[in-house]
């Protein structure tokens, strides 16, 4: 089926070419980091994880969000999602590959990566994260590829795929729960030390992931023969709305617990993020942008007239997506390192090399996604009712 990715329009080749250039730039930047060490990034002794790990965290959420299409379709027989399910599964595949790459570029000794397998350590959450992410990657790829293959030949999908789709549902929840546990169990990192971390992760994922998926569907509708129904778009938009409301609610719960209890450690990171601490306030504009966009997005999505207008819908979804990204793809990881173990603040600004590596990894993600979607669309175009 992969051969279908080789033939395409000029626009398709231009897009692929653009992605390959970004990938090469990222590769060159990574070679520099490989040579010189992680000293080329903005990370420091105090802020030991930066944009790599925060992008990883955010993208695990995007991967997990495929389940928001799978649950209505597989468990509740919501037929409108039928054509979209495979887009969700392949989005998950691309997202997990991006996650693995972000972990890889974050390692100080990437050549020793296999030590994770050679010396498996069940007490480490990172071990479990590796297990669930690899499993999730396999599940989604096998499900998507098999369903597409049988669709091409005009057969219904085999029974065992159905079993895998049921397994994939709790598995999706597990990948983001385990990722939350990377952070939520560390003594002394009060911003992360919260029982609702996994719940926050899942709610923001179920807002940002489907928001991205809708934008992708609308783009495909414009550029290709893949037309997602308005009903499917509206159902997904409602999922985004309530997931985002839950996400904002959970953040407000954190604010209450921190400030009503008045415990300094619990207040410090929130103060740093939203007001600045000891004169350090790099992230304040980002966090308030996130807050404004979150409220704006929710308001637009809640008003049916606005939500049904697809132009407004895209703006609202973009607002939700960017808000979630600022909150989880920047604030969450960086906020956890403030203040440091000695009550001091060190700020982090990513370096150009770091940003180029990040752009390269996202380009790889889009490359994988484009190839997979191209195959889907080509298969569907060839066999509307699958008669060969």
Instruction: For residue 59, give the nearest of 19, 92, 82 by alpha carbon.
Output: 92
Helix axes 51-64, 85-106, angle to 10 degrees: 160
Binding flag, residue 125, other proteins (CB under 8 A): yes
Binding flag, residue 43, other proteins (CB under 8 A): yes
Of residues 37 and 154, the one with the C-beta less far from other proteins: 37
Reduce the DSSP state of residue 344 to 3 states and report it: coil
One character per residue 251-270, x = contact with other proteins (rule: CB under 8 A): -------------xx-----
Alpha-carbon radius of gyration of the chain: 21
| Residue 181: partners with Cβ closer than 8 Å, 6 or more residues away | 125, 128, 197, 198
Range 92-111, binding other proteins (CB under 8 A)? 103, 106-110
Range 278-317, binding other proteins (CB under 8 A)? none
- Separation of first and last alpha carbons in the chain: 15
**Distance in Å, CB of 123 to other proteins, minimum:** 5
Cis check for the bond before 266: say yes or no (omega within 30 of 0).
no
Binding flag, residue 115, other proteins (CB under 8 A): yes
Residue 260, token pair as written in the block: 């009503």
Binding flag, residue 134, other proteins (CB under 8 A): no
Residue 250, token pair as written in the block: 């959970």
Range 144-203, binding other proteins (CB under 8 A)? 182-183, 186-189
Q: Which of 119, 162, 227, 308 binds other proteins (CB under 8 A)?
A: 119
| CA 257 from centroid of its chain's CA atoms | 27
Range 311-350, binding other proteins (CB under 8 A)? 336-337, 340-344, 346
Binding site for other proteins (CB under 8 A): 36-39, 41, 43-46, 48-49, 103, 106-110, 112-113, 115-116, 118-119, 121, 123-127, 130, 182-183, 186-189, 264-265, 336-337, 340-344, 346
């Amino acid at each position: 089926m992969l051969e279908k990715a080789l033939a395409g329009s000029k626009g398709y080749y231009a897009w692929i070419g653009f992605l390959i250039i970004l990938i090469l730039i990222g590769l060159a930047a990574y070679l520099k980091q490989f040579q010189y060490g992680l000293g080329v990034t903005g990370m420091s002794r105090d802020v030991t994880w930066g944009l790599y790990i925060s992008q990883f965290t955010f993208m695990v959420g995007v991967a997990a969000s495929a389940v928001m299409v799978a649950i209505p379709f597989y468990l509740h027989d919501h037929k409108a999602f039928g054509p979209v399910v495979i887009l969700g599964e392949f989005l998950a595949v691309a997202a997990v590959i991006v996650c693995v790459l972000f972990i890889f570029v974050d390692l100080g000794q990437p050549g020793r990566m296999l030590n994770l397998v050679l010396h498996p350590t069940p007490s480490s959450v990172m071990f479990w994260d590796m297990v669930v992410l690899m499993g999730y990657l396999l599940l989604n790829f096998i499900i998507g590829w098999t369903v597409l293959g049988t669709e091409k030949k005009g057969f219904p999908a085999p029974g065992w795929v159905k079993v895998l789709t049921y397994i994939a549902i709790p598995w999706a929840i597990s990948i983001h729960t385990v990722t939350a546990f990377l952070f939520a169990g560390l003594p002394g990192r009060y911003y992360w030390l919260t029982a609702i971390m996994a719940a926050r992760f899942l709610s923001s994922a179920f807002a940002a992931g489907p928001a991205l998926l809708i934008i992708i569907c609308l783009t495909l509708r414009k550029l290709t023969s893949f037309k997602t129904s308005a009903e499917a778009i509206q159902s997904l938009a409602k999922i985004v709305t309530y997931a985002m409301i839950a996400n904002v609610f959970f953040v407000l719960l954190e604010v209450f617990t921190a400030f009503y209890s008045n415990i300094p450690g619990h207040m410090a990171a929130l103060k740093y993020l939203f007001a600045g601490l000891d004169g350090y306030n790099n992230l304040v504009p980002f966090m308030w942008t996130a807050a404004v966009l979150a409220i704006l997005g929710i308001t637009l999505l809640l008003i049916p007239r606005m939500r049904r207008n697809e132009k407004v819908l895209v703006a609202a979804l973009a607002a939700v997506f960017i808000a979630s990204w600022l909150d989880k793809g920047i604030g969450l990881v960086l906020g956890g390192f403030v203040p440091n173990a000695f009550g001091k603040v060190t700020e982090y600004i990513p370096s150009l090399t770091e940003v180029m590596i990040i752009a390269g990894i996202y380009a790889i993600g889009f490359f994988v996604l484009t190839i997979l979607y191209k195959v889907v669309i080509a298969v569907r175009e060839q066999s509307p009712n699958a008669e060969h």
